[in-house]
Amino acid sequence: MAAPYQLLFVCLGNICRSPSAENIMNHLIQQAGLEGSIQCDSAGTAGYHVGAKPDRRMTMAANDHGIEMRGQARMFEAADLETFDLILAMDHSNYRNILALDPAGNSAHKVKMMCSFCREYSDQEVPDPYYGGADGFDYVIRLLMDACEGLLEAIAQEQNLPYARD
């Protein structure tokens, strides 16, 4: 059996957007029966919250959509550029920070914007809900559900995995 396809979701602090994307994607992978084919992780470009669980407000919003939030914040490191097959940045600042750890550009082809996989939303970036109210957390969950569904479909097609979107 081939090694699982490795995904890494990246935001600033790794307590709101990237762990949400990781847990949403794991939920979709499980629903599709693709647990052995795709593995997910998340990280932050800043070390503000290393070791912390996902933000409680994000956890509540995810739970409202049937998503269980797991994980602990960690910092993105240069070695991640080698380990992961695809690295998904939540915003342009995260994207630039990731690429800054790859000055030769050897892994640039692996780094994509999360919103580039959206089907229904036209956002270019996943907004950071940290300093806002509950509506912002709910919006991020809905946006990431859309992006993760598009991402899973793209990976399944590229990797020749059995997946049919409802």
148 is catalytic: no
Alpha helix stretches (DSSP H) within the chain: 17-32, 56-64, 80-83, 92-100, 134-159
118 is catalytic: no
Reading the block at residue 49, the tokens are: 């919250």
Query: Which is catalytic among the residues 55, 80, 91, 128?
Result: 128
Task: State the amino acid at position 53 in one-letter form.
Answer: K
Query: Which is catalytic among the residues 16, 17, 40, 57?
Result: 17
Give the angle subtended at the CA of 114 by the CAs of 13 and 140, to the nearest 5°.
65
128 is catalytic: yes
Cα–Cα distance, 74 to 72 (Å, whole number): 6
Residues that are catalytic: 11, 17, 128
